[in-house]
């Protein structure tokens, strides 16, 4: 799962209109954050993933099966990264 896929799904469902809106509303970051991620070829950090996951959880996703799947994938990614972060900090 890539952040680009989430953006495209939200845009296709009419839940965001632009990269700037996606950055501010869905990622909780500055308007150019998503564009920066694309430019440097990176994925968002753990805190940003937690934010988008929280926003998706507040929605009724039954009408948006793709977003429901992304929300589940986000939960798995957050858990994986949190475990990795804990292991790195214990060393």
Q: Using one digit for the tens of pLDDT, what is the confidence trace for 42-78?
A: 999 999 999 999 999 999 888 899 999 999 999 999 9
pLDDT of residue 83: 82
Specify the pTM.
0.84
Q: Is 41 left (phi over 0), alpha (psi -120 to 50) or beta?
A: left
Domain that holds residue 22: 3-90
The total of structural domains in the chain comes to: 1
C-alpha pair distances (Å), 61 with each of 7, 19, 80: 15, 21, 23
pLDDT of residue 82: 86
* φ, ψ dihedrals at 69, nearest 5°: -65, -45
């Amino acid at each position: 799962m890539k952040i680009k896929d989430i953006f495209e799904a939200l845009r296709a469902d009419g839940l965001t209109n632009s990269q700037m809106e996606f950055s501010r509303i869905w990622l909780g970051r500055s308007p150019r954050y998503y564009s920066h991620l694309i430019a440097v070829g990176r994925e968002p950090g753990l805190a940003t993933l937690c934010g988008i996951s929280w926003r998706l959880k507040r929605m009724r996703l039954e009408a948006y099966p793709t977003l429901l799947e992304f929300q589940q994938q986000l939960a798995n990614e957050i858990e994986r990264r949190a475990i990795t972060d804990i292991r790195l900090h214990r060393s």
